[in-house]
Amino acid sequence: MDPLLIFIQGLNGLQLGVMLFLMAAGLTLVFGVMNLINLAHGSLYMMGAYLAATVQQRTGSFLLAVLLAIPLTTMLGMLVEVTALRRLYKRDHLDQVLATFALILFFNELVRIVWGPQAYFMAVPELFSGYFSILPGVSYPIFRLVIIGVGLAVALLLYLIVSRTRLGMLIRAGATNREMVGALGVNIQLLYTVVFGLGAALAGLAGIMAGPILSVEVGMGESIIILTFVVIVIGGIGSIRGALIASMLVGLADTFGRVLLPPALASMVIYVLMAGVLCWRPQGLFPAYG
Amino acid sequence: MLEVREIQTFYGGSQILFGMNFAVHAGEMVSLLGRNGMGKTTTVRSIMGLTPARAGAVYLDGIDITRAPPFRIAQSGVSLAPEDRQVFPTLTVRENLVATAARNHHGAAHDAWTIDRVMELFPILRHRQNHLGSQLSGGEQQMVAIGRALMTNPRLLILDEATEGLAPLVRREIWRCLNCLKESGLSILIIDKSVEVLMRIADRHYIVEKGRVVWSGGSHELAAHPEVLREYLGV
Ligand SMILES: Nc1ncnc2c1ncn2[C@@H]1O[C@H](COP(=O)(O)OP(=O)(O)OP(=O)(O)O)[C@@H](O)[C@H]1O
Ligand SMILES: [Mg+2]
């Protein structure tokens, strides 16, 4: 294979990986800290995309779309946590899967009612349109490079939050001993809502960035949520670092699988990867807690 | 300061406390004594709101906290070093101390607990700052649990089996620190099996038998009634 093609596909894989990371970070925190399986995490991604598409269409500004859609998705996530998900923490995983699957149906229907069944296409923002020539004769869409950059910056920021701040310490402490964190004066319920809001913000951001490269449509959340679950299982549930590494692995494996293998095999690559990792390390690459 | 009045507490259908009654006044060190399984830890859980009492009431400075959530009770100035220590295993010593630190006690800022003051109290911890909770010895974990409780700047400190399972030297070190805390005027509710030490440093004692108080009195009275110790504690 042409080394240039490998390089370009590598960037594509990285870009997919970064999107997966934005999704996986929130999902793995919610799973690791609150022990909640939230299938509807993809719905927040979809809502982020729709909200951004709407703002961009009305105002013509991508920046404004980002600035409005992220806080709106965050608030939506917190609202869902307070009204619905909070009741599920003590339930078993099957109940959680059923209830959050219902949320997916709810959000898909809501989107059909509000936005109609047709797909939306977001324009690539003016500033980031066009191509950047990485090497002489090799150019790559600037917007995709921006996605990679934003994703890596968010990864660094999240790492700092979880490892260096009081919020991060409480997140880690709460994941192992919720009762003691409460007995030492921390409002765990509020902490959970904040963590959920943080996850929603990242999912919204991923949705917004996906807008200009994929189509904004009902069901877009489901196609990414499956990959996201694969990522957090490979990375080790609850681990941000694991989510980052696994996102990149899955992004690259999926992209190269599609280039190198016949379609029937290509769609299996990441599952084979997951099975392989789990045989080797049943808790995932970086088991975060106990 | 703390008043526990006729509380009855259950785990599911089984009743553990049958009208516990006692009080801790400001600046006092009060002990709960009793054999295994008599309901001392359950009493602590009811005070903290972890297993709220179904009947009776717990008052903190006259305010009913019986059904308040644990975090509110902690914020109003009660802090717990729990049985089994329960240090956060994935946090470092330093993180264990700062994660839940707070200025709940509205006293002067200069006597607030800080990391440095905790390290002065337990010098060993200074060398363990960056070790994870799971990497500590039992004694070190106990020191972290006490330090962590102090970092919330409580008015009332509750210690449940703070010297349980520790080597004699470490035990002595913990007792020395608890004595310092008492001298500083902190109100303390303590549960421990070392009756002789408690008779020296605690002010008053309550003996718990099957979920209620069967004897109470000061250290001198307890010393004067060895038959009480023999009957209820088997010592
Ligand atoms: N979570 C629980 N569910 C049901 N029963 C419990 C639970 N925790 C404790 N018990 C029971 O409640 C009774 C009182 O227990 P508790 O821990 O309060 O005793 P204790 O006085 O602290 O004893 P120890 O000296 O062993 O710490 C015991 O019979 C115990 O078996
Ligand atoms: Mg006990």
> To the nearest whole percent, how much of chain A has pLDDT over 70?
99
Output the pLDDT for position A290.
39
Nearest to A176 among B82, B88, B100 (CB): B88
Characterize the bridge pairing of strands B187-191 and B156-160: parallel
Rounded distance, CA A232 to CA A237, Å? 6
Closest CA to A141 of A49, A212, A52: A212
Q: What is the pTM of this model?
A: 0.89
As a whole number of Å, the CA-based R_g of chain B is 17
CA neighbours within 13 Å on the CB side: how many for B92?
15
Contact B8, B55 (CB under 8 A): yes
φ and ψ at residue B165, rounded to 5 degrees: 70, 20
Output the pLDDT for position A33.
86
First to last CA, chain B: 31
Output the pLDDT for position B104.
66
φ and ψ at residue B92, rounded to 5 degrees: -75, 170
Centre of ligand 1 from the C-alpha of residue B85, in Å: 16
> Of the residues B41, B161, B207, which should be mutated to test ligand 1's pocket, given the most ligand atoms within 8 Å of the CB?
B41
First to last CA, chain A: 43
List residues bridging with B46 in a β-sheet.
none
Centre of ligand 2 from the C-alpha of residue B82, in Å: 9
Contact A249, A272 (CB under 8 A): no
Mark yes or no for CB contact B91/A169 under 8 Å: yes
Cα nearest neighbour of A176 on chain B? B88
Q: Which ligand 1 atom sits nearest the alpha carbon of residue B39?
A: 18
| Residues measured by CB to lie within 5 Å of ligand 2, the ion | B 40-41, 83
Q: What order do you get walking across the sheet with B55-60 strand by strand? A: B14-24, B2-11, B55-60, B63-64
Rounded distance, CA A63 to CA A59, Å? 10
In the DSSP assignment, the letter for residue A134 is E
pLDDT lower than 70: segments of chain B: 104-110
Centre of ligand 2 from the C-alpha of residue A233, in Å: 38
| A241 interfaces chain B, CB cutoff of 8 Å | no
Which residues' Cβ are closer than 6 Å to ligand 1? Answer: B 11, 14, 16, 34, 36-42, 83
In the DSSP assignment, the letter for residue A136 is T
Rounded distance, CA A284 to CA A278, Å? 6
Cα nearest neighbour of B102 on chain A? A185
Complex-level ipTM beyond the 0.85 threshold: yes
As a whole number of Å, the CA-based R_g of chain A is 19
User: What are the Cα distances from residue A210, in Å, to A146, A216, B198?
Assistant: 12, 8, 66
pLDDT lower than 70: segments of chain A: 1, 289-290
In the DSSP assignment, the letter for residue A92 is -
Closest CA to A224 of A39, A4, A2, A9: A39
Rounded distance, CA A228 to CA A231, Å? 5
Q: Give the start-end residues of each E strand in chain B.
A: 2-11, 14-24, 29-33, 55-60, 63-64, 78-81, 156-160, 187-191, 204-209, 212-218
Q: Which two tokens stand for residue A51?
A: 């909200």
Tell the residue nearest (CA) to atom 11 of ligand 1: B37
Q: Which ligand 1 atom sits nearest the alpha carbon of residue B44?
A: 18
Output the pLDDT for position B118.
93
